[in-house]
Amino acid sequence: MTDVTLSIEPLRCGTLTAARSMFETGADDAPIELPVPAWLIRHDGDTVLFDTGMHSDLTGPGEFSDAVGLFFDVGLEADDLVDARLRDVQVDPSDVDLVVLSHLHFDHTGGLALVPDARVVVQRDEWAAGADGELAGANSFRQAEYQLGHDVVLADGEHDLFGDGRVTCIPTPGHTPGHQSLRVRLADREIVLAADCAYFDATLDGGPLPPIGHDHDQHARSLERLRSMKAAGATVVPGHDRDVFDALPSRIS
Ligand SMILES: [Zn+2]
């Protein structure tokens, strides 16, 4: 598989700090700082962003900052916004072709307004939940972050972005109704960006799931799928693990 140029670049889009017990059932309340990543994937001439970090509203005081501040200490400067991070790696935000959203939580979807010309790829179940006022509220989605008029591709389960098997959405529902992860087949290995199906490396190694989420049993089944991919040799990158994130190179290819 050397036919296409393919790489992954992690983008640092701020931090969230909260009690560990919010992220791991049974953990103590000591604060833990989570990185908020977005991921740039370059596939030949195409540019894909997997998740978008947080909304610019959270760089300063305001109603949304107050609401998020009830649960999290937000670390977000203007330099951490996804458009700034894209420019850091010489990508004009308006040149992003596809935005794959793992799910509609504010730390994954908040930066969507900053990539106005991209086509959005999201699981149908997630988008439907996001359009339903009751389900959106129950899942803490903020409709103003994603109901922006982008072209939207609704995926039903596995979705191969380019038809060559190299970059594929993998449904991992449970954390939210239509959560998805992203599998990238590099020349000599497979990387799976887990997003919130597994917050930490420890989650993949049998650690506890968070106490909250859409469907705990469904989440556990999705996590089993990621564990089996890892057992089969894939590198599964958890969504919010500080040590894992800090150890990544600036470009994976
Ligand atoms: Zn989430």
Distance 1 CA to ligand 1 centre (A): 33
Cβ-based neighbour number of residue 14 at 10 Å:
25
Distance 237 CA to ligand 1 centre (A): 15
Record the tokens describing residue 137, joined without a space: 């509220």
Averaged pLDDT, 99-115: 98
Record the tokens describing residue 157, joined without a space: 């389960």
Distance 225 CA to ligand 1 centre (A): 18
DSSP β-ladder status, 98-100 and 152-155: unpaired
Record the tokens describing residue 131, joined without a space: 């359009």
pLDDT surpassing 70 at residue 23:
yes
Averaged pLDDT, 206-225: 94
Which residues make beta-bridge pairs with 190?
A: 185
Q: What is the CA radius of gyration of the chain?
A: 17
> Of 33, 135, 121, 50, whose CA–CA distance to 85 is shortest?
50
Rounded CA separation 101/79 (Å):
21
Rounded CA separation 115/192 (Å):
23
Distance 105 CA to ligand 1 centre (A): 5
Distance 141 CA to ligand 1 centre (A): 10
Report in angstroms the alpha-carbon separations of 40 from 10, 133, 134, 217: 6, 31, 32, 31
Q: Say if CB 55 and CB 111 are below 8 A apart.
A: yes
Phi then psi dihedrals of residue 100, to 5 deg: -95, 120
Distance 116 CA to ligand 1 centre (A): 22
Count how many Cα atoms sit within 13 Å of the Cα of residue 26 in the half-sphere of its side chain. Answer: 3
Distance 196 CA to ligand 1 centre (A): 5
pLDDT surpassing 70 at residue 170:
yes
Distance 3 CA to ligand 1 centre (A): 34
Q: Let me know the angle formed at the C-alpha of 95 by 90 and 99, rounded to the nearest 5 degrees.
A: 105
pLDDT surpassing 70 at residue 1:
no
Distance 42 CA to ligand 1 centre (A): 24
- Give percent above pLDDT 70 in the chain: 99
Rounded CA separation 23/184 (Å):
26
pLDDT surpassing 70 at residue 2:
no
Is the entire prediction scored with pTM above 0.85?
A: yes
Arch. (CATH architecture) of 6-247:
4-Layer Sandwich (3.60)
Residues 43-100 pLDDT 10s: 999 999 999 999 999 999 999 999 999 999 999 999 999 999 999 999 999 999 999 9
Distance 179 CA to ligand 1 centre (A): 8
The residues placing their C-beta within 5 Å of ligand 1, an ion, are: 105, 196
Rounded CA separation 250/17 (Å):
23
Distance 2 CA to ligand 1 centre (A): 34
Q: What's the one-letter identity of residue 18?
A: A
Instruction: Return the domain boundaries, the chain.
Output: 6-247
Averaged pLDDT, 201-225: 95
Distance 113 CA to ligand 1 centre (A): 18
pLDDT of residue 126: 98
pLDDT of residue 3: 80
Q: Say if CB 170 and CB 181 are below 8 A apart.
A: yes
Q: Say if CB 202 and CB 195 are below 8 A apart.
A: no
